[in-house]
Structure 1
């Protein structure tokens, strides 16, 4: 009972902080992003504190991944609940097993999962919450002809070891840094896009590519394996890139009639 009273008290104190957050990013576009997963939940625990979201679903709790230990130690609900963690590059690995064994935790939907567990399900990182969505939508809706087989544009510094391997073993030169809209146009012109892991397993680039009708090439991981039903080319390691026979025909065979703009947000919750 004391835990429940503490939760209510904290919500009353911190609820006004909700006004500080810019929900507009997830209200004015249809693209999958972390904010939209957050908005599914009634109770939120993130950098703004503990708050109620009147639009969210009862029994759904959003927790920014860095606050998971705090949530389970201080704010664990007494009723059955669904947990969503996102907007943080941390991976969900074996150190989180004690939390997964919580009896009244029904399901946990998370970004960057690193292990198998019957309660644990993968969520995509989607598009950056603060992307220039007007530019993004303009390029998504354009009828861009494909003219480049494979495209690479990523910052080595975000994961030096992994991205250096990608660059050296694929031999695909890195494009120069350019404005966001021009970068998107380059993706839209490409059949395939290299998407090595960065700060986390999942990358915005993977989902930007899918929205722009390009096939991302990624390395195998527990997280990315959960999206096998999508046209994502998963290889065991960058050493295997040399065995790929990239072609327009391979692209068409993998892509078929896929349309990322028609994939609803809740499909990752209901069908994962």
Structure 2
């Protein structure tokens, strides 16, 4: 199969693996939350490694056995994990050792919850890898059959297009995370989110079916999962559903995007919901932050291209055109 079908770095929209595969130095066969640094990869952790992608779980080994070998400025990128960059998942001593290293130019991190001049947050983006060939699976998943990353991108664009304009969607906030309510702040969200503004998916569905249902709602509730960031937030934006999140250290990632940021889950009353829908329906946004290329520019310290500001429905039309372009180029098959 051609590279542009199977690799996340050929997708338009941002994902953990898309960022990983776009960096100069990364593991050849990535696995989420990898702890061990493979030998072939370890040999490349030297002064020729200009941009290095690691999972946070690799950082203790990297700092102890490999950091000393780097004697030229380098950029560190971490992600593809539920671990955060904070003093809970990583020790203060480890953070200090890395951040105070004279050759570390900058560190771009998913699930960032630590302040330092060398640290910048990047998004978790879409999850293309669970259903793709990237993890080497030979069977399907509870979410559905294997689907290559670019096919998944085609699928989400087509579902977004078919769902129609934002003002024709159901005026409630969709949820499908309550089937795993023991993670993050989900129990708190369940108990505090106003019942009249929430819709809870009644049974477990394949991801495609859940995406289709999700896209029919104007809002999507997106509490924490295993990590600080959540794929659901970024999926919702690409389904034309406005994410509803609680304020966190990641608020800056949502700048100029149609995201409702609450102080408390209980704040999403009927009045607030209608106000946010009216406001979002007429506002224009810069959707550049959904693009992989935007974040690659940020990491490379290039000026990111800024897209023309547009309404939510204009963005739907743009993604619909992109979905048609992908179908014309690659066909309509869903499985990889």
Whether TM-score is above 0.5 comes out as yes
| Alpha-carbon distance in structure 1 between the residues aligned to 2:113 and 2:182 | 17
In the TM superposition, what whole-angstrom CA distance separates every residue of 1:131-166 from its partner, at most 9, and x where no partner exists?
Answer: 440432321343524321221111453544611111
Q: TM-score w.r.t. structure 1 length? A: 0.79
In the TM superposition, what whole-angstrom CA distance separates every residue of 1:67-113 from its partner, at most 9, and x where no partner exists?
Answer: 01111222222110111101000011133233222111111111101
> Structure 1's 161 and 208: CA in aligned 2 closer, same or farther, altered over 3 A?
closer
| Alpha-carbon distance in structure 2 between the residues aligned to 1:244 and 1:167 | 19
| Alpha-carbon distance in structure 1 between the residues aligned to 2:184 and 2:80 | 23
Matched, 1:30 2:21: no
Q: Which has the higher contact order (CA 8 A, sep 6+)?
A: 2
- Say what the alpha-carbon RMSD is for the aligned residues: 2.9
TM-superposed CA distance for 1:191, in Å, is: 1.3
- In the alignment, what sits opposite 1:241? 268
Cα pair 2:125 2:231 within 8 Å, conserved: yes
- In the alignment, what sits opposite 1:112? 111
Q: TM-score w.r.t. structure 2 length? A: 0.65
> Structure 1's 251 and 97: CA in aligned 2 closer, same or farther, altered over 3 A?
farther
Number of residue pairs aligned between Structure 1 and Structure 2: 247
Cα pair 2:123 2:229 within 8 Å, conserved: yes
Query: Secondary structure of the residue that 1:246 maps to in structure 2?
Result: helix
- In the alignment, what sits opposite 1:154? 177
In structure 2, stretches of 5+ residues that fail to align are 132-146, 300-336
| Alpha-carbon distance in structure 2 between the residues aligned to 1:33 and 1:99 | 25
Structure 1 or 2: larger strand share? 1
**Equivalent position to 2:252, from 225, 228, 231:** 225
- In the alignment, what sits opposite 2:128? 129
Cα pair 1:84 1:108 within 8 Å, conserved: yes
Matches within 5 A, 1:1-272: 24-45=6-27, 47=34, 49=38, 50-51=40-41, 59-76=50-67, 77-94=70-87, 95=91, 96-130=95-129, 131=131, 132=147, 133=152, 134-142=154-162, 144-145=164-165, 146-149=168-171, 150-157=173-180, 159-160=182-183, 162-170=185-193, 171=195, 172-176=198-202, 177-242=204-269, 245-247=272-274, 250-254=276-280, 256-258=283-285, 260=287, 263-271=290-298
| Alpha-carbon distance in structure 1 between the residues aligned to 2:254 and 2:287 | 12
| Alpha-carbon distance in structure 2 between the residues aligned to 1:271 and 1:41 | 12
